[in-house]
Structures are given as C-alpha cells and as structure tokens.
Structure 1
Amino acid sequence: MNNSLFAASAADLTIERIRALAARPDQVESLTLEFKREYSKSLVTTIAAMANTYGGMILVGISDKAEPGTERVAGVDAQETIDKIASGCREKFDPPWEPTFIPVPFADGTGRSVVVVRVDANVAPRPLLIELKAPIRLSGQNSTADRDRLLQLAREEPAARVLPMGQNVMSPNLERDQEGKCTADFILRTGFNVLMGEAGAWRPMSERTVAALARALNNSAFPAALHTLGHQSFSSSTSFQQHGYNRSRTARLVYRALSDSPVPHPVEAVVTVVLPEVYGTSTAALATVTIDVISRIRRYADAFDKVGVPGEEYRYPVPNLLDLLEGILKTTVDPKVVAEIARITDIDPALVAQPRELHLVADRQVKELLRTEILQEIPEAGASAGGVFRANPALDLHDIADRQEQVDDWLRQLGLDAGLTGMEALVESYRASTRPRR
C-alpha cells in the first residue's frame, strides 16, 4: 500500500497529517484504507478482511463521506473505542488476534482522538476466521473468500505474504564499450515491486495498456525534469516509446535526448515493467517497475562545447539533480501513471507502492561530478562513486512538502558520502530562491 501513515512511527502520526489525508479529494476508501465515524460491529469484519488480503489501515473518528458544511474529522473517545475493537477481535476471531492501535489526539483540549488501526497482513495469522468464514477485501468493501481462496490462505508460506513497505530494486551497472570504458557519466535508478492480480498473473501485456503508460509518462513531470538535467544540451528528443527488449510480459519504454554530436543521446531514460513468467510462478509473484536515467552530459560537453563554461570541465549543477529527483518522484505518484501500472498488473491503484530506494552509480568520484559552488571537500574523507539512498517510509510522496523533504535528504546524504560539506546550505538556498513570493 502506498499510504505513508501506515509506515509512519507513532510520533509522526499527528492530527494535522490525518486531517490533510481526509481533506484530499482523491483519497477515497480502497482495498487498504477505510474511514469509520465511530465503532461498529462491521469494523471487526473489516480488520479480518484486510488481514486476509493485503493489510491496510482504518481511521476511526472520520466520516466516510464529506458532507457539505460538516467536519469530516469528528474524533472519538480513544480508550473506549480501542476497548470495543479489542473485545470484538477477541470474541470473533479464530484464532484470537489484535491489530495495532494508535490514538492520535486532537490539539484543542477536547479529549477526542482519531484511532488509527493498522492491519499488517505479514503478522496476522492467516486465514483469520469469523464464524468459520474468511472475510477478504475487495475494492472499498468486504466479501467472503471462496473455497479456492480459503485453501490458498491456509497453504501459503509466510514468505508468500504481502511484502513490507521496504522494497528494494537491483543496483544498476554502467554500460561499457569494447575497451571496457564507461559510456555514461552516471546512471540513476529507482523503482518498486507490484503485487499481481489474478488476471495479471497469466495474461500477456496489452499493446493498448503499454501505449497508455507511455502517454502517461510523456504527460508527466518526467520529460521536463530530464530536459532540466540536460541543461539545454539538446533541442529535441524522442518521447517515451517502446524500444529494445519488449516481450509479452516485458515493456521497455525509452526517452532519448537527441544531438548532432558524437554523443547522440546526452540524456536517456528507461522505464521497464516486467511481469513474472507464467510457468513456475508462485502465489506471491511480483511485477517489477524500474526507472533508469542515464546521463552523458559531461561527455557531450567534451565533444561539443555548448554546455557550461567554455574551456572548463563540465560539472553537474546540484539544482539540476534536485529537479530531476523531484520529477522522478512526482511521476511515480502521478495518478495517470499509477493507474496504467495498476491496469497492467490487474490490481487496485492503492496497492502500487511508492519508491523506497534510489541507486546512483557514477564513472568517477561524486565530488568530481558536481559543480562545487559552495561545496567544500573534507580532508581525507575518502572517495564515493555513488551510493544507495533509502526513502523515509513516513513521507507521502503525493505531498509536495514531503517530496521535497525526501529529495533534500537524499542530496544531503549524497554530499556527505562524497566527503563534501555545504550541501545542506546549497539546497536551502535553492529552495529559498524558488519559493513563491507572497
């Protein structure tokens, strides 16, 4: 699930964040999220259904519909509500089990709270039965598992359950020519794993859905971010389109900057969606989505002196990398991009995860790759030619401020790992210069 509140620590769960979630017009009940105005008997069934499916979160104290002129976040008595839910779980569940309860109090002194109920499918004893039946979660509602689904739940191994929030992607490698020399300045990779729906586990990709994903990528923030990285090193580009290895269960969409220099593609981006093979696939089969950005701006500048300061070795401006990272993250949560990935894998869009990892592999030390500006080298700090950057699971990348905070954290780590100081001040200065004036 992609909701950041599920992964946030108790200290990070504030009533302001919950109000912001409830106020979002695109935030509706789904496979992994439900709102409850107050305790009801059906709430216990929803807990079991989420436990038997993908897990999820129930926010008690919030109306499921926003009525005009009424406050959607009304709150409840936290202790009374938790006691009722816990009692219902003990009485109805076979075997007995409780989810995690986190009361989030209002800041107005009323004593009311929103109770966050977290249902972790990796922890719950599946199948979780109520009156010898196993509730399951469909899109925004509960149902009952049929015989086949019940047998599947009973037979599954712990490893076959829903992946936790922290998913990783394979580290990339720089391409090399016949002499073994790198052909790019750096490659940046992020991505995520996607659970497979029943139809997605066997059907081939549709040409229409792949074309729709390409259109969504072309209309996203990604192309503009790639052009910014190019620092006006190219005047034209190809849009995202199928190129290279494409098969019935693999889609490879490529964007390329075009130039008339010995470096024909100063910037290249590749989005790859790979569905697991039909034969030998387990019930826990996962699709993978990887996003690669390959940059050759430095090589382009050497071959065709139109970038940076003439006569000086080109180095990447930190703001260009910042805009690139923001563009990538914004694209991964773009509703149209997410919808097409969900369509390909036959799942609810709410189950398309956010990236939790970023890889950077450079052909030289990072401190030799960046424009110094106010950056200063730490004596005897050692070398770094990239790194692995983890994401904060408590941040919601749909939110602009959270997305910026994640990018700023990555850049600070990049600077420190490269043995440089001043990155924090440089990022803050850039943020201040781009902040809208009031």
Structure 2
Amino acid sequence: MNNSLFAASAADLTIERIRALAARLDQVESLTLEYKSEYSTSLVTTIAAMANTYGGMILVGVNDRVEPGLERLVGVDAQTTIDQIVSGCSTMLDPPWEPSFFNVPFDDGSGRSIVVVRVDANVAPRPILVKLKAPIRLSGRNATADRTRLLQLAREEPSAMVLPMGQNVMSPTLERDSEGKATADFILRTGINLPMGEAAAWRPLSEKTVAALAQALDDSAFPPALHNLGNGAIDYAKGFRPLGHNRARKARLVWQATGRPAEKKHLVEAVASVEIPEIYGAAAASPVVSVTIDVIARVCQYAEGRGNAGWKHRYAVPDLAALFDGLLKAVVDPKVVAEIARIADIDTSLVAQPRELHLVADRQVKELLHCNGLQEIPGAGASAGGVFRSNPALNLRSTADRDEQVDDWLRQLGLDAGLTGMEGVVEGYRAAATRTAT
C-alpha cells in the first residue's frame, strides 16, 4: 500500500496531510482507498470488502468527486460518525468486527473532522460476511466473492499475511574471486514483496513487458545517481537491459558503467530483478512476487588497481546521499511502479514502498567513507554494513519526506561505523544544496 497515511502514527495524521492527499489527482479511489462524504451503510460494506481483500483506508468527510467549485474536504462530526460505524459493524458484519478509527479535526475551529478508518486485513477474521455474502474489493468499487474466492478465504490460516509490506528482503552477498577476495567495495540492496494477481500465476514474462520496465528504470532518477557515484571516473555506461539469468518467470536487468569502453571492470553496476513464483504444486501460503534492486560499487578497487596512476578513493557522504535518493526516487517513480504492477497483475496501489536497505561491504564502512567532518570513536569496533529500516509514515514520493529518510539512513550509517560528526555533515550538504537550488 503506497499511501503513507495508512502507516502513519496518530500524531502524524494531520489535516494538512489529508488535504494534500485529497488535492492529488492521482489519488483516486482504488483497491485500498475510498472517500466518503458521510456515513452510510455502504461504508460498512466497504470495510468488509477491504478486510476480505488487501485492507485499505477510508476517509470519511471527503467528497469522492473532484469538480470546480465543489469543496473536497467537507468534514463530519467525528463522535457521531464513529458511533454509526461501530453500530453498523456490530449489526451488519458476520462476525462483528471493528477496524481502527482516527479523528483528525479541522484547523478552522469548526468542530468538524475527517474520520480515518484503517482496515488491516491481516487481523480481520476472514471471511467477513454481509447478508450472507462476502464482499471483496476491486479497483475503486466493491463486488461479491465467487465460490472459489469464498473457499479460499475460509481456508486461510488466521496468521497468514495478506499483503506483504516490502519487508524481509534477503541480505545480499558479495561475490569473491578464486583467492577469496571480494570483487566489489560494497553492495547495496533494497526491494519489495508484492501480492500476485490471477494472470501472473500463468502468464510468462513477455519481452515487451521486461523492455518497458528497463525503459522506465532508464528514464528514472536512478542512472544519474549511479553515474554520480563514480565521482568523475565513469566515461561509458550501458542502460538497463536483460543480462544473465532471465527466464519465463524471472527478469534480470543490468546497468553497467566503466572508465573507458574497452575496460572490463565495471566501476558501478545496478541489477534489478523480478521473480514470479511458480505456484503449481507449491505450498498453500500466499505467493508473492519479489522485486530487488542491487547497487554494486567498485570505484575504490578500480582506483587501487590503476598501478602508478592509481589513487586512494573514498565515497563522499553527499554522493551516497544522492545514491540513496536516486534509488528511492526510482522505486516510487509512477512509470516504474506501473510496470512492476503490470508484471504482478495487481493495482498500482498495492506496490508498496521499500521498507529496508541492506549494505554489505568488503571492509569496514569507515574505511570507505571520505573522512571530511567525520571522526572515529575510539574502541567503537568494526562494521562492514548493516540493515537500515525506513519510516513507514513517510511518503517517499515527497521530496521532504525522502530527504528525511535519506538523512536518517546516513546518520545510522555513521553511528554503526563508529563515527561521530555525521549529523553535521548531513546538515552541511543539505544547506549547500539549498543554496545551490536558490
């Protein structure tokens, strides 16, 4: 679910954020989002439908239509509305079940509010029936489950995860040569797990679909960030293209850069992999489509291997910030999201934001970083990487939220590496970026 309000804490649910969401033309009603101007019994049916599908969020007090002169946020009396929803869930739903409610008051003293209803399908007692039927959620509307879907809901384990939220990406492994030496300075990985639509279960990956994803990645902010990581040493780059192990249910797209076209050592490399599980004969657990993106950097090794012309390279914090930012921009880019959703045969609203970042280095992280402004903490020990979690309340499509996430990761990187001064370095490059922008 790529709407950050679903994961936001109660303190972060503000009328400003809801107003900004309602103003976005791309945030229409979908599988996981619905607007209601006021309470009605159809709202309770939507709660059941979302609970029986992927979960979602209902904003009560928001018009679902966007028309000139029509106020989008109309508000409701929060307590009255919540009481009506609770009563409806008690009398209409079988078994009775309540979602979570949040009162977000207007800031104009009117006493009106937006009621945020969160439906978590992972805790709902599926199937939930309304008048002996099981509502399910389609794109922007409700429908009724057929016999097959109803049986599937009834057979689910109570603890089964309905919608993976981008967690549990496998940590990467640095490749090693015949002498056991790592072949890269570090590898960075992020990724997401997605539910799989019906067509994805039988449909092989088409060349056209894979090419469209490669083009979307090439058009994103990712390649410039990768190029920047080379610190001026990159003269030649090849865009994302199928390379290596590609099969009917697995796509592997690779971006590579070298110092010169004739050189074989890739200074920077990125690998985007999409894997669709084979469900026939598989266990009953819900199948998921796995998407991972790896960044493999070799600039330090490249510099050290230049003989007499070699130099000692270290990665500057602003360059890492640009890499993190470009990577996050790419995975939430609407074109990239649309192609991933097409492959998985799901609504784009189900393409979650990445929730973790893995870093594995061939040496201590502090030996990879430019020391300008950073100081080693005596006796802090060694760190050759780590796992960096993201804040689920942040909307990574927002520049401000993305900057906040990148800065948090850099601060953790410095602390885990046993270094002080990272906060000052982060503040310094952000101030420099602001001056450049103005």
Which consecutive aligned stretches of 4+ in structure 1 deviate over 6 angstroms post-superposition?
none
**Offset at 1:157?**
1.3
Listed as ranges, the matches of 1:133-212 within 5 Å are 133-163=133-163, 165=165, 167-212=167-212
Aligned residues of 2:189 and 2:294 also touching (Cα < 8 A): yes
Match of 1:428 in 2: 427
Shift of 1:27: 1.0
Paired with 1:74 and 1:169, the residues of 2 have a C-alpha distance of: 41
Deviation at 1:262, TM superposition (A): 5.9
* In 1, Cα distance between equivalents of 2:361 and 2:240: 24
1:264: which partner in 2?
265
Q: How does 1:302-317 map to 2 (within 5 A)?
A: 302-304=304-306, 313-317=312-316
Equivalent position SS for 2:223: helix
Work out the CA distance in 2 between the residues paired with 1:184 and 1:158: 44
> Kindly tell me: are residues 437 and 191 of structure 1, through their superposed partners in 2, closer, same or farther at Cα, counting changes over 3 Å?
closer
CA RMSD in angstroms comes to: 1.5
Distance 1:311 1:293, change over 3 A: closer
| Structure 2: gaps (5+ residues) | none
Equivalent residue for 2:78? 78
Q: For the Cα contact (< 8 Å) 1:262–1:300, is it kept in 2?
A: no
Match of 1:239 in 2: 239
Determine whether 1:298 maps to 2:297. no
Aligned pair 1:99/2:99, yes or no? yes
Asked if the contact 1:271–1:291 (Cα under 8 Å) also holds between the matched residues in 2, the reply is yes
Q: Which amino acid aligns with 2:387?
A: V
Written as runs of structure 1 = structure 2, the 5 A alignment for 1:408-419 is: 408-419=407-418
For 2:224 and 2:168, the matched residues in 1 are separated by 26
User: Using a 3 Å threshold, how does the CA distance of structure 1 residues 290 and 164 change in structure 2: closer, same or farther?
Assistant: closer
* Counterpart Cα distance in 2 of 1:248 and 1:311: 43
Structure 1 range deviating more: 88-97 or 67-76 = 67-76
1:287 and 2:289 are equivalent in the alignment: yes
1:318-333 pair list within 5 angstroms:
318-333=317-332
Q: Is the 8 A contact 1:263 1:300 kept in 2?
A: no
1:273 aligns with 2:274: yes
Tell me the distance in 2 between the aligned counterparts of 1:166 and 1:220.
20
Q: Give deviations 1:297-323, integer Å, cap 9, x for gaps.
A: 0111123389xxx87521001101000
May I ask how many residue pairs the two structures share in their alignment? 435
Identity over aligned residues, as a percent? 70
Q: Measure, in 2, the Cα distance between the counterparts of 1:189 and 1:255.
A: 14
CA distance in 2, matches of 1:375, 1:71: 51
Deviation of 1:285 after TM superposition, in Å, equals 0.2
One-letter amino acid of the counterpart of residue 350, structure 1: S
| Partners of 1:388 and 1:94 in 2: CA distance | 42
SS at match of 1:163: coil
Q: Is the 8 A contact 1:366 1:384 kept in 2?
A: yes
Unaligned residue ranges in structure 1 (runs of 5+): none
Summarize the Cα distance change of 1:409–1:417 in structure 2 as closer, same or farther, 3 Å threshold.
same
* Contact 1:263–1:296, Cα closer than 8 Å, also in 2: no
Q: Which amino acid aligns with 2:33?
A: L
- Decide whether the 8 Å contact of 1:262 with 1:303 is kept in 2: no
Structure-1 separation of matches of 2:199 and 2:299: 42
Question: Is residue 343 from structure 1 mapped to residue 345 from structure 2 by the alignment?
Answer: no
Per-residue deviation, 1:25: 2.0
Report the 3-state secondary structure (helix = DSSP H, G, I; strand = E; otherwise coil) of the residue aligned with 1:200: helix
Taking a change above 3 Å as real, the CA distance of residues 259 and 129 of structure 1, as seen in their structure-2 partners, is same
1:167 Cα deviation after fit: 1.2
Match of 1:230 in 2: 230
Deviations 1:266-300 (A, max 9, x none): 00000000000132233610010000000000111
**Structure 1 length-normalised TM:** 0.96
State the AA in 2 paired with 1:399: S
Residues 165, 67 of structure 1: alpha-carbon distance in 2 compared, 3 angstrom cutoff: same
> C-alpha separation between the residues in 1 aligned to 2:330 and 2:390?
16
Q: Distance in 1 between matches of 2:19 and 2:35?
A: 12
